[in-house]
Amino acid sequence: MAKDLRSFLEDLRAKLPENYLEVGKEIDSRFETSAILKHMEDRKNFSTVLFKNVKNIKGVSGHRVLSNLTASRENMAIGAGLSPEQSGGDLTREVSRKSKQPLAPRVVPAKEAPVKQNIVTGKDLDIGDLPVIRHHEMDAAPYFTMAVVARHPEWGIAPGVHNVSFHRMMYQGPSQTGIHMSPIHTWHVFRSYEERNLPCPIAYVIGHHPMFYVSANMNPPIDQSEYDLAGGLMDEPLRLTPSETLGDDFLVPADAEIVIEGEILANRREPEAPFGEWTRYYGPQRSNPVVAIKAVTHRNDSIYLDNFIGHRDMDCLTLGWEGTVYNRAKAAVPTVLDVCLPHSGCCGYHAYIRIKKTVPGQPINAAMAALSWGFLKLVVVVDEDIDVFDEEKVWWAVATRAQAGKQVQVVRGLRGSILDPSIEETVEHDALIIDATKPFGKAYAEAIKIPEEAMQKIRLEDYIKGL
């Protein structure tokens, strides 16, 4: 059986059953799934939840919605073929390793593609039939929160290459959505079409294996398809099948739960957003492009996958970003050991890098390479004795190993994130580098510790009961 969302859920239930919950009671797609997930979050519970009876915007119940698929690193470790206990640096390194072994996808005919079990086009088409979720109070509408596939045109900068990346889409009517694109790869594809006044074909993939979505969150070179990357991360070629309405050369994932096909219209803009984003703020209303929907294909009894964006569900999905930063830092400094993009930076703005410093200057080299990824505003580089997944340890290193006058630098005018509330007219931002490593080749204070033999000898339970 090909790896997909359903195979992953089987894995999850087998390996980490406490991370999987089902809700059978009827619940509204308008704010109510969000309310349940927020209540869980307040109790530090980030389990994956299958809502089995969701009411869509038309008031029709019985839809299945899956949320928090990617809300824990333990889930992601299972998705990457590791144990839940390997959810720290092991997971980042595994994603990095697999991302360097891409696998070409395998094309299958429509009759072998589960996503073609139901094909809706023409007058029957109404994306309001799907249980599109309205997440936060000021959201402009229900939003699709998954990944877009766009194919570079023959005249574009990467002819024929399928690009996959995350983009919100706002429900605007039975066959229309708005779309927001940061000026990265999908935007380049769209502009290639728009410059010729042509619509840009896209497919929206709702419901697949978590590693498919991690690949969509990595930033390979523009001429490498995330489809290949997904194959590498999933340890098997991604199965694709020709689209229904976008031409046979436009391939969509055969094992997705739902695929929406459409075209981003050239030279047309409409108000889009506000929308609660991964920064935990609402992105403002913008004048953004419009998508004309042409088809919906889906499995029987499909599972609608929603990302509870602005919460852990998005944070852990940024494992793709973490893997990308690791790859870049490691390419610059081979003795980079770990990279963590912590929750405190929305898993996108801060990076902690652990290195074995063998040459002076390596911390800055590693930090500059990490900054080349784009969104980071703070990079802290620490020695190999610091666990970068323990934020308190990282800041202890800053407190005790860094001097602001010597080891802190500001890099100005980098291309940043358009969703950062603190930037102004353009997408430029500034970044802070803190080298919190000990000086190279000099005697330095030793961290305190209890003798190891004493630690081994003393069993706490023999002295203090109930701890």
Partner 1 sequence: MANVFWLTCPQCSKRFYAETSMLKIKTNFRCPFCELVFDRDQIEEEKEEKWQKI
Binding site for partner 1 (CB under 8 A): 138-141, 269-271, 273-274, 279, 281-287, 418-426
| Distance in angstroms (rounded) separating the CA atoms of residues 47 and 72 | 8
Nearer to partner 1, 272 or 306 (CB): 272
Alpha helix locations (H) across 372-416? 391-401, 404-407
The helix/strand/coil state of 57 is coil
Alpha helix locations (H) across 302-451? 312-315, 319-332, 362-371, 391-401, 404-407
Q: How many CB atoms lie within 10 A of CB 462?
A: 7
Nearer to partner 1, 178 or 242 (CB): 178
Nearer to partner 1, 141 or 203 (CB): 141
Please, what is the minimum distance in Å from the beta carbon of residue 374 to partner 1? 15
- Is the peptide bond preceding residue 274 cis, with omega within 30 degrees of 0? yes
The helix/strand/coil state of 253 is strand
- By the 8 A CB rule, do 312 and 71 touch? yes
Please, what is the minimum distance in Å from the beta carbon of residue 183 to partner 1? 12
Please, what is the minimum distance in Å from the beta carbon of residue 285 to partner 1? 4
Nearer to partner 1, 188 or 286 (CB): 286
| Distance in angstroms (rounded) separating the CA atoms of residues 298 and 203 | 13
Tokens of 48: 């994956």
- By the 8 A CB rule, do 252 and 208 touch? no
Please, what is the minimum distance in Å from the beta carbon of residue 314 to partner 1? 16
Please, what is the minimum distance in Å from the beta carbon of residue 173 to partner 1? 11
Please, what is the minimum distance in Å from the beta carbon of residue 200 to partner 1? 21
Nearer to partner 1, 392 or 424 (CB): 424
- 3-state SS string over 169-222? EEEEECCEEEECCCCCHHHHHHHHHHCCCCCEEEEEEECCCHHHHHHHCCCCCC
Please, what is the minimum distance in Å from the beta carbon of residue 275 to partner 1? 9
Nearer to partner 1, 102 or 274 (CB): 274
Nearer to partner 1, 52 or 286 (CB): 286
The secondary structure of residue 134, as a DSSP letter, is B
Please, what is the minimum distance in Å from the beta carbon of residue 95 to partner 1? 28
Nearer to partner 1, 35 or 138 (CB): 138
Q: How far is CA 145 from CA 154, 370, 466, in A?
A: 28, 27, 46
